[in-house]
Chains A and B, each alone.
Chain A
Amino acid sequence: MASGIEPGAELLRIENISLSFGGVKALTDVSFNIKRGEVRAIIGPNGAGKSSMLNVINGFYHPQVGEVWYCGEKRKGAKPHQIAHQGIARTFQNIALFKGMSTLDNIMTGRSTHMAANMLSQAIWRGTAEKEEIKNRRYVEEIIDFLEIQSIRKTPVGRLPYGLQKRVELGRALAAEPVLLLLDEPMAGMNVEEKEDMSRFILDVQSEFGTTIAIIEHDMGVVMDISDRLVVLDYGKKIGDGTPEEIRNNQAVIDAYLGVPHE
């Protein structure tokens, strides 16, 4: 689906999205786009609607107003698992791993969209199922090498420390070979060293796999360093959009972060 989109061309376009839950407005008339191959950050104070935005992109939420255009096509009522098949993978703010399963199995689930063997073939473990299993297992090993988590391959992820769980979750998303990778606060709760590791992985993913990345992150230092362009949300509205340099000098953004008396 995304094969026709050149790097630098528009991959995803959010058009006038408004989303509310009952009387609570999460997003109001938000528009922006994501270009293929860039790191696009979505920032804003707590409760600005950043996670809601990500949930709209991956189909968990369906906005009441507005359109989502992906790869030049308008999206119509797609379900999250269908959107995963279109090449959008994600991680979650509060890690959502399969806690009882090993690192390896968790990352293997990320390959779901690349496996098509039928039930019968799987049941007898012959033919397509066997070939597929071996081929995808090999790819997963590459991801494990890339993320330097060989030592925890067989460990149930529920037992891993927080930082490593975040990394496994990134691995699961990467295993899908996504066109667009959504990262919801991948560095929350990490120390400086772990943040540096994670930033390096994110930039490596961008350069090695050419993956487009949309990232939500609170650490301004990190965000300004790794992203190409930023969108700033505040109370569900877009208040800024541009390069890190432009955002730094944007008065509305500065006000939102430092707080000004509203008249």
Chain B
Amino acid sequence: MSPDVLYTIEVILNGLMAGVMYALVALGFVLIFKASGIFNYAQGVMALFAAMTLVGIQNGQVPFSHLINAIFGTHIHHFGWQLPAIVAILLTVVVMIIFAILVERLVLKHLVNQEPIILFMATIGLAYFMEGFGDLMWGSEIKTLDVGLPQGASLALEEYTLKWAAEGTEYYGMYLDKLDMVAALVALGLVIVLSLFSQYTKTGRALRAVADDHQAALSVGISLRKIWVITWCIAGVVAMVAGVMWGSKSGVQFSLSLIALKALPVLILGGFTSIPGAIIGGLIIGVGEKLFEYSIGPMIGGATENWFAYVLALFFLVFRPQGLFGDKIIERV
């Protein structure tokens, strides 16, 4: 094979893995949107908050230590332990569940049957609150997140692919990030588990039922409030997974919450109500932006990754506003 073909394959693979990461964020949006019609602006901040909490718990940081020290004049910062990653992850899940319950109790419960725009505004408020609350709880400095995921390029793959190139050409093997590969596998596992859960369990059916028709769901004895808490719990866990993956890659810092913006074009492509849509939309955008950057980028000065997804989304808005898999928008007149 010529190195060009191999480079293209490498670009596509990298694109697919980047796409999985986008899909992961988009998935959180779709879950909540389907169940309650809320576009959860706070999804990105939830990922940031989960990642901060995970780092904090793992390093034995005292929550609200700055606040406590400021009030009581003490100097506590750490409990002085280092928890194993798995324990920290489980505790973070617990925190996200408590968070979901609080959101339902304090916010959603009071806004039942309100216009979508009002619920959307509420989630914007929630996003800013969580951002500040996270800083207050764990401090605003950039943190490194290390739950033992492999880092760097996969040397084995590089060596293995080295001999694929044709004789006499210059080729140094494929460069794939190990973390990206793990992230792709984890995301795949998560999606499989979620779809099995929603197909074959009572709660899964209830989730789908609520997504379809609120009144009918009530009439068969499904509590909407309970389902909303469950959806926010699942969205919280998905946010945590996304936060861990992105956090391990680029550190836990404010910009992590902006990955939510990357999920928007994915949602427009895949449709706001489709889980497969979120995944395939993510993959298309991942591959699309990497291929575009590789093939056309050099001709127009590069840095196309910043805007490619949004332009693609714009085209979709014009020609197929319901997305690839979204419910068709039919208005009865």
Contact = CB atoms under 8 A, between A and B. Distances in A.
B169 interface: no
15 contacts: A60-B215, A89-B219, A90-B219, A96-B215, A98-B208, A100-B208, A108-B202, A109-B217, A109-B220, A111-B202, A112-B221, A113-B220, A119-B230, A125-B201, A173-B220
Given A89-B219, A109-B217, 14 more contacts: A58-B219, A79-B218, A81-B223, A84-B221, A85-B221, A98-B212, A109-B205, A111-B202, A112-B221, A115-B202, A117-B202, A122-B197, A122-B201, A173-B219
Contacts of A89: 219-220
Given A96-B215, A97-B213, A123 B220 contact: no
B206 interface: yes
A112 B208 contact: no
A250 B221 CA distance: 39
**Residue from A60, A85, A96 with most neighbouring chain B CB atoms (10 Å):** A96
Interface of A: 58, 60, 79-81, 84-85, 89-90, 92, 96-101, 105, 108-113, 115, 117, 119, 122-123, 125, 129, 132-133, 172-173, 176
Contact of A172 (B201, B202, B220, B230): B220
Contacts of B230: 119
B209 interface: yes
Nearest to B327: A100
A125 B218 CA distance: 25
Nearest to A88: B219
Contacts of B208: 98, 100-101, 105
Interface in B221-246: 221-224, 230
Given A97-B213, A97-B216, A105 B221 contact: no
Interface residues of B, number: 24
What 3 A-B pairs have minimum CB-CB distances, sorted nearest first? A84-B221, A96-B216, A98-B212
B200 A110 contact: no
A222 to B, nearest CB: 23
B144 interface: no
A200 to B, nearest CB: 24
B241 to A, nearest CB: 16
A112 B230 CA distance: 16
B201 A98 contact: no
Contacts of B213: 96-99
A92 B224 contact: no
A77 B195 CA distance: 36
A180 B193 CA distance: 38
B269 to A, nearest CB: 20
A96 B197 contact: no
A125 B209 CA distance: 20
